[in-house]
Amino acid sequence: MRYAFQVHYIGKNYSGSQIQFENGRLRENPTIQSELEKAISTLIGGKPADEYIRQYKTVFSGRTDKGVNSKGQVVHFDCEQMIVASDFVYHLNEILPCDISICDFKEVDSSFHAQKSAKMRYYRYEFVNRKYKDAYDGDLMRVKYEIDLDRMQKSLDYLIGEHDFTSFKSSGTLNPGTVCFIKSAQCQKCGDRVVIDIAGNRFLYNMVRTIVGTLLEIEGHNRTSEYMKEVLEAKDRRCAGMCVSPYGLTLMKVEY
């Protein structure tokens, strides 16, 4: 039987979502996947964490980097046992660290695949737009100069549709594909916080964070919104802005 569920997590204490290997061996760095699999193995298989051998392997809808959060990551795994959803959710959440939780647990068809079946992914990036710091800013990036929200929205509009996003792809990924379809890209200001929501069928390595960095390049240097179009058409990473901090980036939802 195949089961799927949502995972919520705060990513700052983990080396990304995916289990990492080095020279064919599992690295000791804690990840969201390693914590999930240890908890599932403990709950279903009765194996304590120190005997963890990936008894139940999980498949994520997508990879998130160190520091990135989730409110909608989707995961599936296979298990021969019949699982009662309410009991499983309660007990697994009791085992998991306080910054990871699951919900919306259900049995799915064997053809369902958390990554391959996904049609759309929704990300949100949030930062503080204020000159002075506040104790409650947490890990959010703070931009001290004033943001022109209308110009930022016009810049984002150039990303809508299907494009080659090579300019926004960081090195370090083995996936050669660079074409993505962006369904929507919007920004808004809530008090002194700027929120950027982007939805697309797929995203390249560090793509959202580099898009935000390019927006800040435009704002910080008082460029026109057309600069975003120039960067997009250049297909050259050197033309885009910096890859901003992962803190503030959240995977909000995955659509199937």
Residues annotated catalytic, as ranges:
65
Q: Does residue 191 sit in helix, strand or coil?
A: coil
**Residues comprising the chain, all counted:** 256
Cα separations in angstroms, 233 against 29, 31, 83, 227, 240: 38, 36, 50, 10, 11
Give the whole-angstrom CA distance, residue 144 versus residue 47: 50
What element of type H or E holds 98?
A: none
- d(Cα 124, Cα 137) in Å, to the nearest integer? 17
Contact 158, 225 (CB under 8 A): yes
Burial of 161 (0-12, 13-18, 19+ CB in 10 A): exposed
Look at residues 202, 204, 201, 199 and name the one whose alpha carbon lies nearest to residue 175. Answer: 204
By three-state DSSP, how is residue 217 classified?
Answer: helix
Spatial contact of 202 and 121, defined as CB atoms under 8 Å apart = yes
Instruction: Identify the residue whose tokens are 């089961």.
Output: 3
Question: Torsions phi, psi of 228, nearest 5?
Answer: -60, -40
Q: What is the largest CA-CA distance in the chain?
A: 59
